[in-house]
Amino acid sequence: MTVNEIRQKFIKYFEGKGHVVMPSSSLIPKDDPSVLITTAGMQQFKKWFSNEIKPKYPKTLTIQKCVRTNDIEEVGDKTHLTFFEMLGNFSFGDYFKEESIKWGLEFVEKELGVDRSRIWVSIFAGDDKTPRDDDSEKIWQSLGITDIREFGREDNFWGPTGTEGACGPTTEIYVDDIEIWNLVFNEYYMQPDGILLPLESKGVDTGAGLERVAAKINDLKNVFETDELFQIVKTVQKLSEKTDTKAEKIITDHLRAATFMLADGIRPSNLDRGYVLRRLVRRAVRYGKLIDIKEQNMCSKVAEKIIE
């Protein structure tokens, strides 16, 4: 299944469940000085979740451009990317755990064709601040899922983006060893001092990394073998004189991130998001030297493929 077929299936399935399709927002977050770059699908809906703005629709879906650099050193492994697309279905005071879990599982099994034997799930174990997610456990059990593992705050509590905002416990779908579907149950507002206040209306924020999903369901070794990324990797390979699969992947990822950041109006600088962009380009160039890329216009040659 190609990356684009997955995008289309996602749109069709969740549109069929009453979600309004909305475009990805810019990588420059609007009206949110607490973050530099859009890192998640929920970013454009932060004020809808917190009810600072009345939600325009009760249910939406997006395929969001995201940049995350916290795991930059891991790029080149099986799953990590600094730029990726996030499939997300969202509820603002509409459906909650029951439907989101049922639909997530149905999409993974029926639409993506993942065999039940490969699926296991995780729930939030609870701690001194937030109770254990017994409800999700019961819902998974009612759907016949038996491998339910529980993890703490680090793995199964998401958000907020930036220093404050909506956040909550998560339940996640794993296929073999990889998490592909993350349902965040936004029940709290985290203040900048870390205190959690209950939200007026509860919401659902789904995050499913498109490239990870594609790699997993096609039984590929890593995200760089998915059809769209692989074309970029091949472009880098053609320019290089040495074979170094890790460097090729890093260049592919970083220049893809840089191209999308530039397209959204970010420019290299020594400050804030401009510095993130500069760092990505510099890192790509450094890896280009490492594999003896002589082409002076490496970045623009690779960007042409990315744009295509």
Contact residues for ligand GLY, defined by CB under 6 A: 40-42, 158, 182, 184, 205, 207
Q: How far is the CB of 158 from ligand GLY (least distance, A)?
A: 5
Residue 80 neighbours by CB under 8 Å, 6+ apart: 71, 74, 223
Q: What whole-number distance in Å separates Cα of residue 153 and Cα of residue 293?
A: 43
Q: How far is the CB of 156 from ligand GLY (least distance, A)?
A: 11
Residue 257 neighbours by CB under 8 Å, 6+ apart? 67, 81, 82, 83, 280
Task: Compute the distance between CA of residue 59 and CA of residue 102 in angstroms, rounded to an integer.
Answer: 16
Cβ proximity to ligand GLY: between 41 and 288 the closer is 41
Render the burial of 31-52: b for 16+ CB within 10 Å, e for the rest: ebeebbbbbbbbbbbbbbbbbe
CB of 98 to ligand GLY, least distance (A): 19
Smallest distance, Å, CB 170 to ligand GLY? 7
Cβ-closest position to ligand GLY: 207
At 81, the amino acid letter reads L
67 touches 37 (CB < 8 A): yes
Closer residue to ligand GLY in complex, CB, 167/276 = 167
Q: CB 215: neighbour CB atoms within 10 A?
A: 24
Q: How far is the CB of 297 from ligand GLY (least distance, A)?
A: 35
In the complex, the smallest distance separating the C-beta of residue 115 from ligand GLY, rounded to whole angstroms, is 24
Nearer to ligand GLY by C-beta: 90 or 287?
A: 90
Closest to ligand GLY by CB, 79 or 240: 79
Amino acid at 111: E
Query: Under a CB-based contact definition with an 8 Å cutoff, are residues 172 and 122 in contact?
Result: yes
Residue 133 or 205: the one with the smaller Cβ distance to ligand GLY is 205
Rounded Cα distance, 101 and 171, in Å: 8
Nearest to 158 by CA among 135, 117, 130, 137: 130
Shortest distance (Å) from residue 41 CB to ligand GLY: 6
Q: Which CB, 248 or 253, lies closer to ligand GLY?
A: 253
> Is the CB of 26 or the CB of 38 nearer to ligand GLY?
38
For 101, residues 6+ apart whose C-beta sits below 8 A from its C-beta are 136, 139, 140, 143, 171, 183
